[in-house]
Structure 1
Amino acid sequence: MSPQKYLRYLGLPLLFGTHRTKELFHINPTAPPERQEADNIVVTIYDYNADAVVENKYDTVTHSFGCKTNNRISWINIDGIRKADVEAICNHFEIHPLLIEDILSMHQRPKMDEVEGVLFCLLNMLYFNDATRTVETEQISIVLGKDFVISFQEDATRDVFDPIRSKLKMGNSKIRQRTADYLLYAMLDIIVDNYFQVMEKLGEQVELVEEEVIRRSNTKSLARINQIRKELIVLKRNIAPVRDLVNGIIRSESDLLDDRTTKYFKDVYDHIIQAYDLSENYRDMMTSMQDLYINNVNLKLNEVMKVMAIVTCLLAPATVIGGIFGMNFDHIPSIHNKWGFFSAVGLMLLVPIWMLWVFRKRGWF
């Protein structure tokens, strides 16, 4: 047997999941980010128009500098965050230093800004880890400029943009026919749609816990309820601000946004409202489930107390009768009667039986 299997239980905070609470609430966005810079970056560039699309991958950001004046729409996706690379590409595309700070930041609240001719969106992509049953986040920064979109991702191994890449390779896709703001819409739309997949996974966990609470409530059930409530906090913290982000884009009067694209952003807004309402429903369900757990525990306690009270009542006649005939007096009725002992024992049995009948008739058990 591996000793590590049991040694992990010596760390009580890990056993009860308090380390997750620390991750959720010990966040200070005003503190300088302690980001570990990526060892390598991958710069993927899609240059496209209605007629053709060119895909290239590089390991330096300098190859993207020509996209500013190539008279085509460019999507520059950078996987891996390094301060020098972010500053270099942002300075070339004339992105404000405040936005550079936001790109390099960690644990920022999702938001949208318009600064000096560019539209900036910062939000999180969500993933559900089936092994740990937790919601994982990855910050993504998107910069919309004149005929270009630059996206900065932290993790080079995963994202949700594969459907967009497939559509870019299709000549009749709307992305190829429209301007850069439609690409921004497509990215926000697929990020929001992925929220529903994460909530679907959480919904499965909620169903399992609900069944467990109804069938057999124990401390493990309470721990699972607490864990899911923490994951719902992560979900709400990332979904609620995106509602304001999309609403800000809809209300924006930026020249970068085509009037024809506004209705598409309204569709994203409807989706994020629905996702927010669903997260609220999950939170209400977990609150109700916690109340159900407490009620089940109280019910079990009441059942135990009722059984103990009935047993005590049934033993009371035998205690009284035994106490009376056990007194040290010289003259006790039937003390020398050969049937006295059997009469006392019979009385000790008959009285509890009669009491059981009375209790049953009154519906006490």
Structure 2
Amino acid sequence: MAKHALLPIPDAINPFRVRKQRLMNFNPVTASTSRKPVDHVRITVFEYSADTVKEEVMEKVADCFRFRESDCIKWINVDGIRREEVEAICKNYQVHYLLMEDILSEGQRAKMDEIGDNLFCLLPMMFFQSQSSTVNQEQVSLVLGKNVVISFQDDPDRDVFNPIRDRLRTGGTKLRTSGADYLFYSLLDVIVDNYFVVMDNLGERIEVLEEIIPRQPTNRTLARINYLRKEMLVFKRGIAPVRELLGGLLKSENALLEQNTEKYFKDVYDHIVQAVDMAESYRDLVMNLQELYHAQMNQKLNEVMKVLAVVTTLMAPLTVITGIYGMNFDHMPELKTPYGYFVVLSIMTVMFIGMIIIFRKRGWF
């Protein structure tokens, strides 16, 4: 019973409501898109080489401009997106205006672009909210330039980049001894790997439902199935375009991508192909759960109908007998028999017991 707690349905969310805003929010228009204002923007800069690493956290966007002329590899991570900061960074690091508009947009489909001296990727970062059993996504923009990678995130309080930060702080790692394109690969890799974490949580919910349905095929169980199906749809719609993004990187001949880094992008591509296939399999499993639910409901209904049919069959002969002797004719010889009531009652009892024995031998119940 403790497993059932893994699949809550939040009271504030109606599981039968079609969340069109979440499912149909891919809007390519960027100029008219308005973002929710953020309280603050935090900029974290890692400047590193094989021998040294420097980490700084700054609140003013101008503080990161001094790293532009450095020959070391730079990772500039911007948490919280506001137009002023994004415009300033893009202008200083010569990021094209169209890429800046993509960074400022919301609900974009995963994409990859090569404009000017930059290589740009936009993709969703997925998270699983255990309390509400929902899949949340955050748009992440990555810009690769000469000796620099700039990442833009919506939420300043969470990301999946901590393993990258730990590897940068540790000397002798491949990340420290490689170029900016390897850092670019590493960020993409950790985002894609986190998709499997989300799928593991969704898989647990599917397993719980598989156990619940045979025992409790109720309306609440159906609501859980529909709710999980919608979350799977949100997840699959988010990650499916990432396969095209990585395919574009593999086909790219951009000078920013070194030839010896191509095999690493191929590995990430294999991971996203596997993730998309698993998401499709999980979606099929959820559809099978719906079929299992309806099969259980039909079986339950058949059991009820079988019991009613048996009861009706058992009572039918007795009803005929009582109907005959319930007629108000004056000339019915059996009505004057002193022991007629007991005789008829005995006959009815023998018939009832005999029919039960016959039904049991035939396996009808």
Determine the C-alpha separation between the residues in 2 that align with 1:14 and 1:231.
Answer: 13
Partner SS state of residue 18, structure 1: coil
Which piece of structure 1 moves more, 278-287 or 64-73? 64-73
Determine the C-alpha separation between the residues in 2 that align with 1:75 and 1:13.
Answer: 40
Q: What is residue 78 of structure 1 aligned with on the other side?
A: 78
Which piece of structure 1 moves more, 224-233 or 31-40? 31-40
Determine the C-alpha separation between the residues in 2 that align with 1:36 and 1:24.
Answer: 16
Which letter maps to 1:342? F
Deviation at 1:345, TM superposition (A): 1.2
Determine the C-alpha separation between the residues in 1 that align with 2:52 and 2:167.
Answer: 12
Which letter maps to 2:53? V
Which letter maps to 1:23? Q
Q: Residues 124-273 of structure 1: matches in 2 within 5 Å?
A: 124-273=124-273
Determine the C-alpha separation between the residues in 2 that align with 1:331 and 1:13.
Answer: 73
Contact 1:126 1:136 in 2 (8 A): yes
Deviation track 1:146-171 (CA, whole Å, cap 9, x = no partner) reads 11000001111111111111111122
Deviation at 1:90, TM superposition (A): 0.6
Q: What is residue 286 of structure 1 aligned with on the other side?
A: 286
Contact 2:181 2:258 in 1 (8 A): yes
Q: Residues 319-358 of structure 1: matches in 2 within 5 Å?
A: 319-358=319-358
Which piece of structure 1 moves more, 354-363 or 287-296? 354-363
Which piece of structure 1 moves more, 306-315 or 24-33? 24-33
Contact 1:37 1:83 in 2 (8 A): no
Contact 2:122 2:140 in 1 (8 A): yes
Are 1:55 and 2:55 counterparts?
yes
Determine the C-alpha separation between the residues in 2 that align with 1:260 and 1:25.
Answer: 39
Are 1:29 and 2:27 counterparts?
yes
Deviation track 1:223-279 (CA, whole Å, cap 9, x = no partner) reads 111111111112111221111111111110000000000000111111111111111
Determine the C-alpha separation between the residues in 2 that align with 1:270 and 1:278.
Answer: 12
Partner SS state of residue 170, structure 2: coil
Deviation track 1:163-197 (CA, whole Å, cap 9, x = no partner) reads 11111112201111111000010001111111111
Determine the C-alpha separation between the residues in 1 that align with 2:208 and 2:16.
Answer: 19
Deviation at 1:17, TM superposition (A): 4.6
Deviation track 1:116-162 (CA, whole Å, cap 9, x = no partner) reads 12110001111111111111111110000111000001111111111
Q: What is residue 5 of structure 2 aligned with on the other side?
A: none
Q: What is residue 312 of structure 1 aligned with on the other side?
A: 312
Contact 2:222 2:293 in 1 (8 A): yes
Which letter maps to 1:189? D
Paired residues in the alignment total 355
Deviation at 1:341, TM superposition (A): 0.6
Deviation track 1:252-311 (CA, whole Å, cap 9, x = no partner) reads 000000000000011111111111111111111111111010000000001101101111
Which letter maps to 2:36? Q
Deviation at 1:13, TM superposition (A): 9.0
Contact 1:16 1:223 in 2 (8 A): yes
Which piece of structure 1 moves more, 296-305 or 276-285? 276-285
Change in 2 beyond 3 A, CA 1:280/1:26: closer
Contact 1:38 1:82 in 2 (8 A): yes
Determine the C-alpha separation between the residues in 1 that align with 2:353 and 2:12.
Answer: 52
Partner SS state of residue 334, structure 2: coil
After TM superposition, the score normalised by the length of structure 1 is: 0.94
Determine the C-alpha separation between the residues in 2 that align with 1:361 and 1:104.
Answer: 75
Change in 2 beyond 3 A, CA 1:223/1:254: same
Deviation at 1:88, TM superposition (A): 1.1
Determine the C-alpha separation between the residues in 1 that align with 2:356 and 2:249.
Answer: 74
**RMSD (Å), alpha carbons:** 1.7
Determine the C-alpha separation between the residues in 2 that align with 1:224 and 1:37.
Answer: 34
Which letter maps to 2:23? F
Q: What is residue 3 of structure 2 aligned with on the other side?
A: none
Q: What is residue 18 of structure 1 aligned with on the other side?
A: 17
Partner SS state of residue 214, structure 1: coil
Contact 2:112 2:122 in 1 (8 A): yes
Q: What is residue 6 of structure 1 aligned with on the other side?
A: none
Deviation at 1:28, TM superposition (A): 4.9
Deviation at 1:207, TM superposition (A): 0.7
Deviation track 1:63-107 (CA, whole Å, cap 9, x = no partner) reads 122222111111000001001111111111121111111101111
Unaligned runs of 5+ in 2: 1-8
Unaligned runs of 5+ in 1: 1-8
Determine the C-alpha separation between the residues in 1 that align with 2:340 and 2:214.
Answer: 53
Q: What is residue 5 of structure 1 aligned with on the other side?
A: none
Determine the C-alpha separation between the residues in 1 that align with 2:37 and 2:93.
Answer: 22
Which letter maps to 2:310? I
